[in-house]
Amino acid sequence: MTVLVAHKPGARAPAVLDAGVAEARRRRCALVVVNVDHGYAVRTQGGLDATQAAELETDLRARGVEARVHLATGPDAAAVIADEVVARAVAVLVIGHRRRSPVGKLLLGSTAQRLILTADCPVLTVKA
């Protein structure tokens, strides 16, 4: 079994990663961090490059967990992450969440909300 963390660099990222490490330790299983880049020619705010991914993987392993960082590409982050959940037989999905107004969700969508409603495993949401 695996703990999967949906990772997007930013202010909430450390809290989400901490929760993922804690879950991996508690469940005694591997940690996979998935970072989704939307695949545009200009790197989006959420995408990591290979060097950043390697540094993150090294940091997580130094914290005492078997860890792997997976860089994925796709226009729909929720769909990419949901596919990873199924492919990896995930025990728990760890995601960051921020409070948004109903209008904000309607206009912009919510990756976290879609994952909470559709994931085939328990979802741990983390607010920084």
* pLDDT in the model for residue 40: 57
* Total structural domains within the chain: 1
**Alpha carbon distance 70, 92 (integer Å):** 16
What's phi and psi for 84, nearest 5 deg? -65, -40
Q: Domain range spanning residue 89?
A: 2-126
**Alpha carbon distance 70, 104 (integer Å):** 29
Which CATH number fits the domain that encloses residue 26?
A: 3.40.50.620
* pLDDT in the model for residue 41: 47
Report pLDDT digits (tens) over 78-111.
Answer: 999 999 999 998 999 999 987 766 665 555 558 8
Residue 115 has pLDDT above 50, yes or no: yes
Report pLDDT digits (tens) over 26-56.
Answer: 999 999 999 998 765 444 556 799 999 999 9
Q: What share of the chain is helix, strand, coil (3-state, %, to 5)?
A: 40, 25, 35
